[in-house]
Amino acid sequence: MEITVKNIDNSNLLATTTLAQSDIDAKIDRLAVEAGKQMKVDGFRKGKVPKHVVKKMHGEQLEQDAESEAVREMLDAALAQADIKADELLGDPTFKKYEKIEGGIEVEVEISTKPSIDLGDYKKLVPAYERPTASDEEVAKRVETLAEQAAPLESITEDRALENGDTAQFDFEGFLDGEPFEGGKADDFELEIGTNQFIAGFEEQMLGMKKGEQKRIEVTFPEDYQAENLKGKKTEFDINLKDIKTKGTPELNDELAKKITNQDDATVDSLKERTAEQIVTEEISKAYNDELKPKLLEALVAGYEFDLPRNILEQEIDNLLNQKAQTMTPDEIKEVQENSEKLQELRESVRDDAINSVKATFIVDAIAKEEKVAVSDEEVYQALYYEAMMGGQKPEEVVDYYKKNNLIPAIKMGMIEDKLFGQLLELDKKED
């Protein structure tokens, strides 16, 4: 088999050959013999099925298998000729030509390899920024808010009615068509009035009640309420207001600091230090997402020039095109599907973004290896578990979704990028 290998650029090459029909026929015969040793066909002993019978029964499949084997051999030979290792390949080869002719099959295959990037002094591309600090005023204001939130509830001493912002302690029982319903009763329930935690109209009708007062109110459950028997139904509630409470005036001391931080050794000073660190962390996070990360990505993409593997670039164009299609109307999608020029125009409209995205991925990967930054699968799963729990989802279902849709590599790459950029920007560096 004679193979011609031509470099398109530093990341792509074109391998060309003609697969001889005689070689393919020989492979078909060999595969038929091998299959005959495993087959059981009426009229023949097991393992003794003749080659011509196997070919008659499975000729089309044998031909496909033989051609696939010939192509694999061609690719192996092309890689050996080009001195390319298997781990340098990216994605599947792209067939530019596969044409059956008299005497064989003409094949042209484009092969993409991992680009080589001369990183040089990449740290000079890292944008400078002034690390934020937390002022005494910011810390004092945040600590005051934390103290107010942690302050204990105290019963009011004055004789006044229930107001918004008060916490009502009360018993209640609900009735549907005059009969109590399941889940509609509670004793000594505490509710901050004005937070709209209950059904619309419930809290509003409690306003103006005084300690010891009893009242019957009417409310209508929403149409989308989870309990089928209560959806859209008018109900009545008997309420017995037992107490009215408000937040006490907090006294900032070590005991309150322990309550706020849930740490036995906390003090007012350690609370302030921790609060200052939290404020700085929040400001750094905002600066990173809004300014530093975009600037660094832009600088890295602009700072390097190298050939991109064409198959990976085309995959990214497909990805961006699919995203764009989600914002298009059915008529617009149909027009693109029926008009090849329109489709090509649309592909070109996202090409620059795809180029920048693919470039950034390879640059980040190269620098991450240089900086010895890595993220394990376990770290990815932990991040997904946390995200699921914060969103009220089942972690196992979220992880399964990402696995089934092959999204784990993208999540990992994003985590590597953030970890690397944080290291380059020295975001975790403490002030002296």
Dump pLDDT digits (tens) for 375-419: 999 999 999 999 888 888 888 999 999 999 888 988 999 999 999
In a domain, 274, yes or no: no
**What's the domain range around 240?**
152-247
Lowest-pLDDT range of 33-42, 55-64, 188-197, 381-390: 33-42
Give the CA-trace dihedral at 284, 287, 288, 289, to 10 degrees.
130
- What does the pLDDT read at residue 432? 47
In a domain, 272, yes or no: no
For tokens 């602009």, name the residue.
302
Mark which of 51, 86, 112 sits at the end of a domain: 112
pLDDT at residue 431 is higher than 80: no
In a domain, 143, yes or no: no
In a domain, 254, yes or no: no
Query: Are 343 and 240 contained in the same domain?
Result: no
From CA 50, how far away is CA 44, in angstroms rounded? 8
Mark which of 56, 83, 112 sits at the end of a domain: 112
* DSSP character string of 152-170: PEEE--S-----TT-EEEE
Query: Are 77 and 184 contained in the same domain?
Result: no
Closest CA to 106 of 21, 28, 19: 19
pLDDT at residue 281 is higher than 70: yes
CATH of the domain at 291: 1.10.3120.10
Mean pLDDT of the chain: 91
Closest CA to 126 of 362, 374, 426: 426
Helix residue ranges per DSSP H, 222-339: 254-261, 268-287, 293-303, 310-325, 330-338
Q: Identify the helix (H) or strand (E) that includes residue 60.
A: helix 51-81
Query: Are 313 and 400 contained in the same domain?
Result: yes
Helices 268-287, 254-261: crossing angle, 10 deg rounding: 40
From CA 213, how far away is CA 215, in angstroms rounded? 7
Query: Are 306 and 389 contained in the same domain?
Result: yes
How many domains, in total, are found in the chain? 3
In this structure, what token pair is assigned to residue 325?
């299609």
In a domain, 429, yes or no: no
- What does the pLDDT read at residue 430? 61
Query: Are 394 and 343 contained in the same domain?
Result: yes
In a domain, 65, yes or no: yes
From CA 87, how far away is CA 289, in angstroms rounded? 34
Lowest-pLDDT range of 4-13, 39-48, 198-207: 39-48
Whether 220 contacts 235, CB under 8 Å: yes
Query: Are 216 and 326 contained in the same domain?
Result: no
Query: Are 354 and 299 contained in the same domain?
Result: yes
From CA 407, how far away is CA 399, in angstroms rounded? 10
From CA 238, how far away is CA 173, in angstroms rounded? 5
In a domain, 257, yes or no: no
Query: Are 283 and 243 contained in the same domain?
Result: no
Other residues' Cβ atoms within 10 Å of the Cβ of residue 421? 21
For 292, residues 6+ apart whose C-beta sits below 8 A from its C-beta are: 127, 129, 421, 425
pLDDT at residue 244 is higher than 90: yes
- What does the pLDDT read at residue 8? 94
Q: Is the pTM of this model over 0.75?
A: no
From CA 345, how far away is CA 288, in angstroms rounded? 35
CATH of the domain at 55: 3.30.70.1050
Query: Are 14 and 108 contained in the same domain?
Result: yes
Q: Identify the helix (H) or strand (E) that includes residue 228.
A: none
Query: Are 168 and 41 contained in the same domain?
Result: no
Query: Are 107 and 176 contained in the same domain?
Result: no
From CA 99, how far away is CA 104, in angstroms rounded? 9
Longest dimension (CA), the chain: 104
Whether 319 contacts 285, CB under 8 Å: no
Residue 7, CB half-sphere, CA atoms under 13 Å: how many?
9
If you count DSSP H runs as helices and E runs as strands, how many of each does the chain have, helices first?
13, 9
pLDDT (average), residues 337-359: 93
Backbone angles phi, psi at 229, to 5 degrees: -70, -10
Residue 3: pLDDT band (50, 70, 90) is very high
For residue 138, CA distances in Å to 144, 262, 275, 277, 311 come to 10, 22, 9, 11, 52
In a domain, 268, yes or no: no
From CA 2, how far away is CA 102, in angstroms rounded? 17
Query: Are 216 and 297 contained in the same domain?
Result: no
From CA 126, how far away is CA 24, in angstroms rounded? 56
CATH of the domain at 168: 3.10.50.40
Residue 429: pLDDT band (50, 70, 90) is low
pLDDT at residue 1 is higher than 70: yes
